[in-house]
Structure 1
Amino acid sequence: MDALLFDESLNKISFLFRYGGLSLASRTRTTTQTVKIRLLYLFNSFWLNVDLAGGIYWFIDGLKNGKSFIELTYIAPCIALAFMANIKSLFMIVNETRIDEMIDILRSLEVTVKNSKRVESKEEIVAREKSFLYCVIKMLNILNVVVVLTFSISPFVLMLIKYMKIKELELMLPFFIIYPFDSYDIRYWPFAYLHQFWSEWVVILDICSADYFFFTCCSHIRTQFLLLAYDLENIIPDLDNSITQTADIAFNKKFVEIIRRHQVIIGAARLLEAIYTKSTLYNFTSSSILICLTGFNVVAIEDVALIVTFLLFLSMCLLQVFFLCFFGDMLMRSSMKISNAAYNSRWYSADPVIAKSFLIVLTRAQKPCKLTAMGFADVNLMAFTSVLSTSWSYFCLLNTMYKPSSV
């Protein structure tokens, strides 16, 4: 039997979980593997949170000692993103059992489809959804790598520019972080630089691991809804007008199988909601602040190198929350296609018993499967516009506060 497409999708993102200290197969791990994974996660978490604590301390100290508004807003979005990485990775660990259950459900659904009759139209649906998912992951991988490298390289660019102007070498770091030693001492500077560089990667690994698994599950659940809609729409063959489809044993078996698949897919969507609903609430809340502060840095900072850096950072923040909402919206809309499929089927050429069964399916399918941020907001494109609207309001307020101090 050919390898499952869902397993292929998981293999595309497994390296993120492996290096982040997370796991996609907690049920099959040995005790030794579990210890290794937990130790790696704790090491990464400690490494990141040392920098996070230093950044928070610098921010508080900057408020007390009158650091410039731009310096404070420079570190603030980085702190918010580090908090997001912590929360997303923590909920992935807390929900490991549910993640295993989700993987089993999507595998079983794909096996059911593979065992059915091969249809070219259904294969085109699968290929299209697979291509889109892989394209999104590849694009985000490239952007995330560019953002990390840009943040890492920008201190060297600024050091070079300053050296050319004043002929003095002033050591710089990617982020404003206070350590228990002088991080700008040439003896400790390389360690502090490498420490911040790896912290950046830990943030990216944690966020991308959670997001990519979310995208993968949404894409495969959507695929199952589309395949189910195709089967439902074509369950009654194009018979002669004088022939009426009766509720015989063969038809009843196929119809019951479709109902069962529909219930399993709905259960998968609910399980995905349970895994991500809490972290999504923080994601929506923090994204407004992240986009606002990053946009302000782009406008207020004068160094071209930093402007480019924060433009890329802004793109990453926008795309992160956009695709979160986009895939949630895709799942919701695909669930409603079951209702359209029931209506577009040839129910009119069936006897009344079958027509009533189609009506029940149509009525149930009109209630969409949707993901939420703990019930406060639906995860769809409307939520993305709300995040942008809130970010713009914060940005205008922040810009107004900054202008008087710059006069």
Structure 2
Amino acid sequence: MSLLFDESLKSIQFLFKYVGIYLDRTILNTAEHLIKFRSLYIINFLWLNTDVIGEILWLIQGALHGKSLIELTYIAPCTTICMLANIKSLSLLLNQDKVKQLFKQLRNMENINIGDEEVKKKMVAEGKKYLRAVIKALSVINAVTLILFSVSPILFMGLEYKKSGQVELVLPFLIVYPFNSYDIKYWPFVYMHQVWSAYLVVTQVAGTDCLFYTCCTSICTQFRLLQNDIETIIPERNFDENVFREKFKKLAVRHEGIMQSVIQLESIYAKSTLFNFVTSSFLICLTGFNVTALGDIGFMLSFLSFLLMSLMQIYLLCFYGDMIMTSSMEVSNAVYNSKWYTVNAKAAKHLYVVQMRARKPSKLTAFSYADVNLKSFTKILSTAWSYFALLKTMESPTRA
């Protein structure tokens, strides 16, 4: 049986291939290894952040020179998601040892042969199926967003040429360069530069998120398998306390290992998740505002797909965090559903300890600022709506 984790990791490694991030490889602090395995990431990092700096400069100049609210909010979400991509990718690189340790923990847990093999196959298959569907849906939305932002300027130029007979050069993003980027000598290079930067952003955000979903799916599957084994730990007849004790020790060790993997996952993602939470309200608000404010259908569609991508990204982050909490607490129900009432007091006490521990959920947090669950998602939406209403109020006097 192929491991859920390893099978899903293959597609994630493909996402990171051209970014220069190697998840499952030992990289030594030697000149040879750093050049071989870090040079591509460094090149892409510098490539992307030249555009990020240019976007920030454009925002500063635009604010100083009285650019319209629509123009300022056009580039602000793009700058924000670029910074998010940087933080997410750096969080993996800076926690490389923790990532490798987490991979080892998840593989070891999936390799344990305990319980009904058919049940294990069924649960793992369900996890694979759902995870595959999520990654495919996310990939489609990300691809559509990238294509729309890359192609809409060309379509705009074509329509403008058809109307006026003149070619007006347009770029996907508003960025300041130390040269005239609308000069035909530089425009093709700048255009491709911005498109590749957009690809890097989408890939880094999607790649780190898909890894998060994969780890959460693997952990939740282990919690469910543990629940099944706890429910069936006491046989219908012929209870043997020695056999029970041996099984219980193994289950207790597994339970502790799964909870430790949650702690390890949080230590990797906590800081980037905090930034994700703080910026998501702005992203959703600004992209929603652009959808309603931009007059051009091409750019409106681009930001509509951007809005869907932002909503799905933060929703799935909270959804999988909620799954971790729920599946960890359901271990308590599994103890209750076992035949604890048929055993002696000593065995029942062991089960009671597990039940009490499981009532305290294993959870992921945004660097202890907030729990990663669906309640946090509703708060983010509420905050985004408040910002959106404020922007619409600010826009009305300008139009009047």
TM over 0.5: yes
Secondary structure in 2 matching 1:184: coil
Amino acid at match of 1:175: F
Counterpart contact for 1:246–1:350, Cα < 8 Å:
no
| Aligned residue in 2 for 1:11 | 10
| Aligned residue in 2 for 1:282 | 275
Counterpart contact for 2:27–2:34, Cα < 8 Å:
no
| CA distance in 1: counterparts of 2:195 and 2:310, whole angstroms | 19
| Aligned residue in 1 for 2:342 | 349
Structure 2 segments unaligned to the other structure (5+ residues): none
Counterpart contact for 2:4–2:127, Cα < 8 Å:
no
Counterpart contact for 1:19–1:205, Cα < 8 Å:
no
Counterpart contact for 2:8–2:214, Cα < 8 Å:
yes
**TM superposition shift of 1:36:** 2.1
Counterpart contact for 1:122–1:230, Cα < 8 Å:
no
**TM superposition shift of 1:339:** 0.3
| CA distance in 2: counterparts of 1:308 and 1:238, whole angstroms | 61
Structure 1 segments unaligned to the other structure (5+ residues): none
Percent identity at matched positions?
49
Secondary structure in 2 matching 1:148: helix
2:129 to 119, 126, 131: 131
| CA distance in 2: counterparts of 1:238 and 1:246, whole angstroms | 11
How many residue pairs get aligned? The number is 399
Q: Residue by residue, what CA displacement relative to the aligned partner does 1:54-94 show, whole Å, maximum 9, x if unpaired? A: 11111111111111211111000000000101111111111
1:389 to 382, 391, 394: 382
1:36 lines up with 2:36 in the alignment? yes
| CA distance in 1: counterparts of 2:300 and 2:375, whole angstroms | 29
Amino acid at match of 2:277: F
| CA distance in 2: counterparts of 1:380 and 1:33, whole angstroms | 39
1:295 lines up with 2:288 in the alignment? yes
2:310 to 302, 317, 329: 317
Secondary structure in 2 matching 1:378: coil
Amino acid at match of 2:266: E
Q: 1:61 to 1:28 in 2, by over 3 A?
A: closer
1:52 lines up with 2:52 in the alignment? yes
Amino acid at match of 1:56: I
Secondary structure in 1 matching 2:364: coil
**TM superposition shift of 1:143:** 1.1
| CA distance in 2: counterparts of 1:261 and 1:376, whole angstroms | 29
| CA distance in 1: counterparts of 2:164 and 2:77, whole angstroms | 31
**TM superposition shift of 1:150:** 0.5
Mean Cα displacement is larger for which, 76-85 or 35-44? 35-44
**TM superposition shift of 1:6:** 1.6
| CA distance in 1: counterparts of 2:27 and 2:116, whole angstroms | 32
**TM superposition shift of 1:37:** 2.2
Q: 1:354 to 1:110 in 2, by over 3 A?
A: same
2:220 to 222, 232, 245: 222
1:340 to 326, 333, 336: 333
| Aligned residue in 2 for 1:110 | 110
Mean Cα displacement is larger for which, 201-210 or 307-316? 201-210
Structure 1 length-normalised TM? 0.95
Amino acid at match of 2:349: K
Amino acid at match of 2:3: L
Structure 2 length-normalised TM? 0.97
| Aligned residue in 2 for 1:184 | 182
| Aligned residue in 1 for 2:152 | 154
| Aligned residue in 2 for 1:399 | 392
Q: 1:37 to 1:320 in 2, by over 3 A?
A: same
Amino acid at match of 1:400: T
| Aligned residue in 2 for 1:380 | 373
**TM superposition shift of 1:29:** 6.5
Q: 1:117 to 1:370 in 2, by over 3 A?
A: closer
Amino acid at match of 2:5: F
| Aligned residue in 2 for 1:25 | 24
Alignment of 1:224-263 (within 5 A): 224-239=222-237, 245-248=239-242, 250-263=243-256
Taking only aligned residues, the RMSD between alpha carbons, in angstroms, comes to: 1.3
Runs of 4+ aligned residues of structure 1 deviating over 6 Å after TM superposition are: none
| Aligned residue in 2 for 1:359 | 352
Counterpart contact for 1:55–1:176, Cα < 8 Å:
yes
Mean Cα displacement is larger for which, 379-388 or 17-26? 17-26
Counterpart contact for 2:223–2:328, Cα < 8 Å:
yes
| CA distance in 2: counterparts of 1:331 and 1:11, whole angstroms | 23
**TM superposition shift of 1:361:** 0.6
Counterpart contact for 1:159–1:170, Cα < 8 Å:
yes
Counterpart contact for 2:180–2:186, Cα < 8 Å:
yes
**TM superposition shift of 1:117:** 4.9
